[in-house]
A and B are shown apart, each in its own frame.
Chain A
Amino acid sequence: MTTSALAAPATGDGTEAPATTSERSPGDQNRAGWLFATPFLALYVLFLIGPVLIGLVISLFNTTTVKSGLGEWVGFSNYADVLSSGDFWDSMWHSVLFTLLTTPLLVLLPLLFAILASRVVRNRWFFRLAFFAPYVVPSSAVCLIFAFMYTPETGLVTNAFGWLGLTAPNFLGSTSGAWFAVVLLTLWWTFGFNFILYTAGIQEISQEVYEAASIDGAGPWQQIRSITIPLLRPTMSLVLILQVLASLKVFDQIYILLAGGPNYSTRPVIEYIYDTGFTSYRGGYAAAATMVYFVILVAVSTGWLLVRSRRTTSSGNTPAREEGAGA
């Protein structure tokens, strides 16, 4: 990092010098550059890096959330408490379970529908509208509507089960019913986002490839299997990691619709941190839980980056989208 930073002005001079007028010195660029970057850097350090450091410090004290001040130094005992807490690991498992339940659905179904949509010529705006519109709806409005549809006996989803000859579970009162309710809601709500990413990925595949395949006599199914899906790999990998990270960070739906219930059986990590930090006022403990969770999330995204960069360097082709970003 430091060496490349020192090399920067030199390369700049080499390429820029001929066109630069005499009064514009590298010193001028240096000052102007920092002036342009400063507003961003100030906010970035204060409000993105700041909370990480504050969380790190607070997690080592028995801070309470009700009064200001750090409280007493307790070393790593908050971490020991968090790591040995059954409630913390339960909530961690709920976030992971939610991820396991939603990720396959939200990675594969939008892929299927984006591929189907690419075969349709007319009325594409209608599919885009129907699938993406839920994504702009606030979480609480989604929960209001779904809570109404999940009402026992009178709700639309409850009745739909009856029409299919099935008995509806108690959506908001039983654990398995609650998971079903929240997964269905999430599928409806966020499906469109992944659908749009896949649609954009499909549009980058050259039309000529399909034409060549079609001249060679490849049917639609063969074209999808041997052209669309292999060329969509980079998009699928992007959608997968975005979905895993988003699902691990679940809070809104479960908190609003179920309040983590019944009896904390669906409470995700963020709600656990919220409960310990803001309801029981155990700031230091909640900060330690925050840091453990933070490290897990960063590890997941770093792991994905490592796997992806190894795969791209070994196969020798960078994903097309990234070349576009660099161009």
Chain B
Amino acid sequence: MTVTAVALDADEDRSRTGGRPDEGSKAFNRLAATCLTLFALIWLVPFAWALITSLRPDSEIAAHPTRPWSSGLSLDAYRSAWDASPIGWWYVNSFIISTLAVIFTVIVCSMAAFGLVHLKFRGRYAVFGLILAGLMLPTEALVLPQFMEFRALHLLGTYWAIILPAVALPVAVFVFHAFIKGIPIALIEAARIDGASWWRIYYQVVMPLCRPAISAVAILTFITSWNAFLWPLLVLTQTKSQTIPVGLSGLVGGAAIQYAETMASAVLGILPLLAVFLLLQRQITQGVANTGIK
């Protein structure tokens, strides 16, 4: 809703405890650390539980459902989960859709923001107001008319049906707008005196300096489009053309006895984005804090 431009390299590990902590605040801080650790561990339980279950044999899960260790761990459940549903295809679909959505969103939204910041074109205040109003548009509520529109355009069942509505993202324009405004105007003036075209200024001067904004928008778009559920559920009806969230949802409530296989599918569904998160933890949390929107 509101664009929050938090200082991009805010020092996160500064302590907030004040200058000279006395005994009282030391005890308080220790208590805080204990509470937090306890809750953080509880928060990890569902992950651990899914992982452990996926590695245990089904017979043992049935006999001792809540025993957190096992006599024999195996990856068999992963093989049968992989064979039982076209998870490979789901990965491919999710990956293509999310990647294209990121590329188009970054290009289209940064171009609009560049135009709004540096080009004094007629009507730009109206354009800015229109984008601002877009922040309040609850697009998820509009799936039915959106469906009718895409059917009329004969785009149902294609990747484009999912990518196109995701690209014009008002919050992304505001992230780029805030960032491009911070770039010293002298750089752009210098490039103009050298005779560079606006397009060259955009992609050779401004975009290379926009890295933090690009990564914030890319991360936001990738997570949102990878995890999107309702719209892909309506648009992609063929099993092989589905994305990870839609494909996996078909497994909920089915085959109640194959615990290990079901949990293996869940782990496979979690894995790609969790791996990316573990690698880019800091950038991702910073990016989410910067965009401040779901």
Which residues in A have some Cβ–Cβ distance to B below 8 Å? 1-2, 4-6, 8-9, 11-13, 16, 19-21, 24, 26, 29-37, 39-41, 43-44, 46-48, 50-52, 54-55, 58, 63, 65, 68, 113, 116-122, 124-149, 151, 153-156, 159, 188, 191, 193, 196-197, 199-200, 202-205, 207, 210-211, 213-215, 219-221, 223, 238, 241-242, 245-246, 249, 251-252, 256-257, 259, 270, 273-274, 277-278, 283, 286-287, 290, 293-294, 297-298, 301-302, 304-305, 321-322, 324-327
Contacts and interface: CB of A to CB of B under 8 A. Distances in A.
A68 B151 contact: yes
Contacts of A147: 252-253
Nearest to A251: B230
B209 interface: no
9 contacts: A9-B122, A41-B112, A44-B131, A54-B149, A137-B273, A144-B262, A200-B292, A274-B234, A278-B144
A32 B277 contact: no
Size class of the contact patch on chain B: 35 or more
A24 B192 CA distance: 9
The 8 closest A-B pairs by CB, nearest first: A33-B121, A12-B120, A36-B115, A214-B18, A33-B119, A55-B145, A200-B289, A154-B65
Contacts of A117: 32, 36
B139 interface: yes
Contacts of A298: 136-138
B40 to A, nearest CB: 4
A257 B252 contact: yes
Contact of B270 (A6, A34, A137): A137
B84 interface: no
B interface majority secondary structure: helix
Interface in B146-166: 146-149, 151-152, 164-165
B225 to A, nearest CB: 11
A interface majority secondary structure: helix
Given A127-B40, A144-B266, A297-B138, A8 B122 contact: yes
B263 to A, nearest CB: 6
Contacts of B46: 134, 142, 145-146, 149, 188
B215 to A, nearest CB: 15
B109 A40 contact: yes
A118 to B, nearest CB: 4
B148 A324 contact: no
Contacts of A257: 252
Given A136-B223, A297-B138, A33 B120 contact: yes
